[in-house]
């Protein structure tokens, strides 16, 4: 991504980025490049995942802190990072929609003798299972009821289809930094 970013700026070529796990310096380099070329970056190009992320944020905002929020993600046993970039993005969008702090309100582990849930926290859980392509579930629960938003990837084709759609949308755009919400017309 680093090498490709510099090459695209030099040659004035639009760029689609799906790389996760980038550093703050990489993020700044992408922002800088977007002043010269159109760039779209997404942690996940699945159209359904992007719609689900928008719905997850909206649901959290509508339900409020009386509902516990848990994010569960599962991927194949060979995936190196955890949690997934998609799960992290879902948590960030929920925080943005509800005025929560990603740094203070997202919990990445729950173990021990006293793990009572605090109001307003969002918990992230990670599974690594066989050949799972990618699964993300957001749970909203309170006493007496639970709602689940879920995406199950059964083929990597859906990610490629979304990336191609993003590239087609990006063609002939003005320089700027774009997201899948722009491609899909989502209010994210």
Helix (H, G, I), strand (E, B) or coil at 19: coil
Active-site residue flag, 75 = yes
For 86-102, b where at least 16 C-beta lie within 10 A, e where not — what string? bbbbbbbbbbebbebee
Q: Which of 76, 79, 100, 173 is catalytic?
A: 79
Q: Which of 58, 75, 118, 151 is catalytic?
A: 75
Contact 110, 164 (CB under 8 A): no
Active-site residue flag, 79 = yes
- Give CA–CA dist 70/145, Å, rounded: 14
The tokens for 81 are: 């990072």
Catalytic residues: 75, 79
């Amino acid at each position: 991504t680093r090498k490709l970013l510099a090459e695209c700026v030099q040659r004035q070529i639009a760029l689609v980025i799906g790389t996760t796990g980038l550093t703050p310096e990489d993020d700044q380099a992408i922002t800088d490049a977007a002043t010269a070329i159109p760039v779209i970056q997404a942690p996940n190009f699945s159209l359904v995942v992007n719609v689900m992320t928008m719905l997850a944020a909206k649901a959290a905002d509508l339900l409020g802190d009386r509902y516990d929020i848990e994010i569960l993600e599962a991927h194949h046993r060979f995936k190196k990072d955890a949690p997934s970039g998609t799960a992290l993005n879902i948590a960030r969008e929920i925080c943005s929609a509800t005025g929560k702090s990603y740094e203070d309100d997202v919990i990445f582990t729950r173990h021990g003798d006293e793990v009572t849930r605090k109001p307003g926290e969002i918990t992230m859980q990670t599974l690594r299972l066989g050949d799972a392509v990618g699964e993300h579930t957001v749970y909203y629960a309170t006493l007496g009821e639970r709602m689940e938003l879920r995406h199950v990837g059964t083929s990597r084709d859906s990610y490629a289809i979304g990336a191609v759609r993003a590239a087609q949308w990006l063609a002939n755009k003005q320089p700027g930094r774009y997201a899948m919400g722009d491609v899909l017309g989502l209010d994210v």
